[in-house]
Chains A and B, each alone.
Chain A
Amino acid sequence: MAAPQAIATRRPRLAHAMLQSAPLLLSLAMLAASIVVYCAIYLASQHRLPGGFELTSTVNNTMPLAMAAVGQSFVVLTRGIDLSVGGIIDLTNAVAAVAIHDSPASMVGWSLAILAIGALLGLVNGLLVAVGRLQPILVTLATLSIFQGIAIRVLPQPGGAIPDAYGAVLANVDAPISLIYVALLVLGWRVFRRTRLGVSIFAIGNDEPAAAANGIDVRRTKIAAYVLSGTFSAAAGLFLAAAATAGDATTGNSYTLTSIVAIVLGGVSLFGGRGSAVGGIAGAFVTSMIVNILFFSHIDPLYQNFYEGLFLVLAVTAAAGIGHYFRRRA
């Protein structure tokens, strides 16, 4: 028995893929556009194109934010938010500065231990949100303060020293080897999307009761999302320490907000269930590009924040508008 023949037009696979990842494509287009503008302005003011140094320093500077944005994506995709990202970066950055010494065993061992600390901090958030049934924004606002407080205890004054060899691996100043990590993140994300957990995170962000009705363990999925966020924030703390060559228990604070900005620029919906961590990485690079563009356009520094804010509003509005246009056309 056949169901009624409604409109039986099929869209080709590519059209589907384009349409369904429109926000991601938009953020990549935004990144491409900002790189072009940067190069043009750079050329105009320096009479040459940016080279290896510019690429390397931009990548090294952006890596911590890219990591934090990936972490934030997991949580936001479940329709939560993780404000403790900055606190976790503070704490892991502080531990890195205090603990990592100049031996391969110390570097590898402590790196893993610090990632585990990040996971543990994320677990605290996850348990409070999923089991305690508390609002993510309240939980992570509280743990943000707690983690910041512990970070100051661990490293009361900025200092410590990160071995040069460690910096050479995570934030090499001679070559943009951090691009390898970007590639690994993109690859890892594609793999993650094809795991049970990946599907579950998207599902509960889409519609939590519906996901539960489909047999998805909402509690475990949420906890996993916060643990992943904590782990990636810890990675951000490590990259930050490596780039700075020392630790500071307060430098992570700004990442709470910038990680959210990055994922919004990257097309991740704050209402959950839609978006990609790859977009978040692109968003992180876009924010660095904005800093560069404003720098080389030599605007009055007092208006810099104004322009940054203006750009954000325009970017998000444009993305929403273009996305809407394509959805209507489709």
Chain B
Amino acid sequence: MTNNVSRRGLLQAGGAGLLAAGFTTFTLPAKAAGKKPYRIALSNSYIGNKWRIEMENLFKAGLLMEPYKSDVKGSWFNSGNDVSKQSQQMSNLIAERVDAIIINAASPTGLNGIIRQATSRGILVVSFDNVVTAPTALKVNTNQYKFGQMGAEWVAEKIGGKGNVIMVTGVAGTFVDADRNKGAEDVWKKHPGITVVNKFTGMWDSATAERNAAAVLPSLPQIDGIWCQGGTDGVLKAFLAAKRPLPPTAGEGENGFRKFMTGYMGQKVQGISIGQPPFLVLISLELARSVLDGSRPKGDVEIPFPFVTTDTVKVGETVFPDLPDSFFADFTDSGDNATVKICVEAALNGTACAGRLNVVLPKA
């Protein structure tokens, strides 16, 4: 740990160039660290859903835009949900001696061993979305507990503090799932009039959520509110198929859900759409860049959830009628205090937008 502390001091002094020389426990040949462009790699695990694809597109687009275009030499890798493969790729990144690794991990703990090896060699590790527990890695995330809490509070208020709600949960065994559920459950406790009549997993996937909702709906009484972690549009479609009215719904940032909020399939739903923003990757990129150039101390970053409600959702900005339901409409932040503003092409194709990319990190 003393090594880490001293390194931190060096970094803060803007002396990242001394880093490799000052750290000698491991015997990799000295490298020219700290010189621009920084070599920053994205190590992503699963790539099989729209969110991850958008996330990776935003990363690619970011690399094509200033200041990253001149400051950063980027690369990206996918490993699927195979921890040993991601670990193997990370050791290759260590061998390549990149300056920083940004990871969306296949396991919060499974990479801790290799992360420790990376950071002990002076490589900056920034984890986001599915963050890791390794103490030496920086974390960039939203507060998942607040996701659960915000949605549940909104539903509770909409239904006047009493009635039947269902909870559609995510992938069991992950922090995100557990934290979101806890956030919601703490709200339900404060409203004795609210009964959770069913809790089932949607696996953060619209098709799965729709299938599971369709399976349980026939056995359920009238439902006054939906709290959903992901696959929200699927749940609403299952309600339509069962010819049930659409109750107030707290859900994720799926374009399909937001279409329902503006009127879709003959229905308009009262809802709040809270997104785990794909632009977390850009926040991570900016964090890595600013730590490497010494303009920011090492430290975790938490950003507020971007959200829209039926009252604030805007066609062409936070909902896109021409794009598929599964598109994540929260690829960019909105409003005056936005952390990231980026165009839809970046999310769709990974192409650069006009102008500079301005990522505003919260105060360190």
Contacts and interface: CB of A to CB of B under 8 A. Distances in A.
Contact of B172 (A42, A58, A152, A244): A152
A64 B47 CA distance: 24
B107 A253 contact: no
B81 A158 contact: no
Contact of B95 (A50, A61, A302): A50
Given A53-B28, A157-B178, A61 B88 contact: yes
Contacts of A171: 113
Interface string A145-176: 00000001000111110000001000101000
B83 A57 contact: no
Contacts of B175: 157-158
Contacts of B26: 53
Contact of A292 (B92, B107, B116): B92
Contacts of A64: 84
A71 to B, nearest CB: 16
A37 to B, nearest CB: 14
Q: Is the interface of A mostly helix, strand, loop or mixed?
A: helix
Interface of B: 26-29, 44, 47, 75-78, 80-85, 87-89, 91-92, 94-96, 106-114, 116-117, 133, 172-175, 178
Contact of B106 (A251, A258, A298): A251
Given A53-B28, A158-B133, A58 B111 contact: no
A73 B94 CA distance: 33
A189 interface: no
Given A251-B83, A302-B78, A246 B89 contact: no
Contacts of A244: 83, 87, 107, 109-113
Given A46-B96, A156-B178, A158-B173, A58 B78 contact: no
A305 B80 contact: yes
B296 to A, nearest CB: 28
Contacts of A240: 83-84, 110
B91 A61 contact: yes
A295 interface: yes
Contacts of B87: 57, 61, 243-244
A88 B172 CA distance: 18
Most A Cβ at <10 Å: residue of B77, B110, B133: B110
A32 to B, nearest CB: 19
A37 B47 CA distance: 27
A46 B88 contact: no
A301 B78 contact: yes
18 contacts: A42-B95, A46-B95, A57-B94, A61-B91, A157-B178, A158-B109, A158-B110, A240-B83, A244-B113, A245-B112, A245-B113, A246-B110, A248-B108, A249-B173, A251-B107, A254-B82, A288-B84, A291-B89
A57 B107 contact: no
B108 to A, nearest CB: 4
Contacts of B113: 60, 167, 171, 173, 242-245
Interface of A: 42, 45-46, 48, 50, 52-54, 57-58, 60-62, 64-65, 97, 152, 156-160, 167, 171, 173, 240, 242-251, 253-254, 258, 288, 291-292, 295-296, 298, 301-302, 304-305
Q: Quick one: which of A42, A159, A171, A250 has the most chain B CB within 10 A?
A: A250
Given A244-B112, A245-B112, A65 B95 contact: no
Nearest to B53: A302
Contacts of B110: 158, 240, 244, 246, 248, 251
Nearest to B108: A158
A254 B81 contact: yes
A199 B99 CA distance: 53
B76 A291 contact: no
A248 B88 contact: no
B76 A248 contact: no
A57 B108 contact: no
Report which residue of A45, A254, A292, A296 has the largest number of chain B beta carbons within 10 angstroms of its beta carbon.
Answer: A254
A249 B178 CA distance: 14
Given A61-B114, A249-B173, 7 more contacts: A58-B88, A167-B113, A242-B113, A244-B113, A248-B173, A258-B84, A301-B47
